[in-house]
Amino acid sequence: MSVRLTPYLVFPGTAGEAIAFYEKALDAQVLFKQSYGEMPANPDYPLVDEQKGLISHAMVQVGESQLMFSDSDEGKPIPQGNQVTICITTKDASLSKKYFEGLKEGGTVILDLHEAFFSPAYGQVRDKYGVTFHLFTEGESMN
């Protein structure tokens, strides 16, 4: 069973600046970076021009560790407790579902576990202690 916990940093429109800063300060290497404008268009959530350049997701390597980054999709201030979250990565959708169900007990579902263009099972939940988790299943989605 392979499970990985990765800190996920969310910024109010400054993720690109933060990534550049960590590249310099920590010799970080960008493994992946995508803006909201580079994602597949979603007619239910049309983007305004200011959102298109914001970072939707980035993965950065620092030594043997990785950090994930994104901007809030509106570039607005991040609610307290949401700037640093944890991404739980598995290769098994049923394991992601088990963790999601366990964490949502007494907590709040932010985004139901669902199939997305980037994952066969992805969701977000804030547990009863106020910690926000992203559940991410690696692999090809059916979309």
List pLDDT tens digits, range 111-134.
999 999 999 999 999 999 788 999
Mean pLDDT of all residues in 61-69: 94
pLDDT of residue 143 exceeding 60: no
Tokens of 105: 């007990």
pLDDT greater than 60 at residue 98: yes
pLDDT at 54: 94
How would you classify the pairing of strands 108-116 and 55-62?
unpaired
**In the prediction, which pLDDT does 42 show?**
86
Whether residue 75 is predicted with pLDDT greater than 70 in this model: the reply is no
Q: What is the mean pLDDT of the chain?
A: 91
Give the whole-number percent of the chain exceeding pLDDT 70. 94
Instruction: Please report the domains of the chain, with CATH numbers, ordered by start residue.
Output: 1-76 (3.30.720.100), 79-143 (3.30.720.110)
> How many Å apart are CA 74 and CA 114, to the nearest integer?
22
pLDDT in the model for residue 140: 66
- The predicted-structure confidence for 19-48, as pLDDT tens digits, reads as follows 999 999 999 999 999 999 999 988 888 888
SS (H, E, C) the chain: CCEEEEEEEEECCCHHHHHHHHHHHHCCEEEEEEEHHHCCCCCCCCCCHHHHCCEEEEEEEECCEEEEEEECCCCCCCCCCCCEEEEEEECCHHHHHHHHHHHHCCCEEEEEEEEECCEEEEEEEECCCCCEEEEEECCCCCC
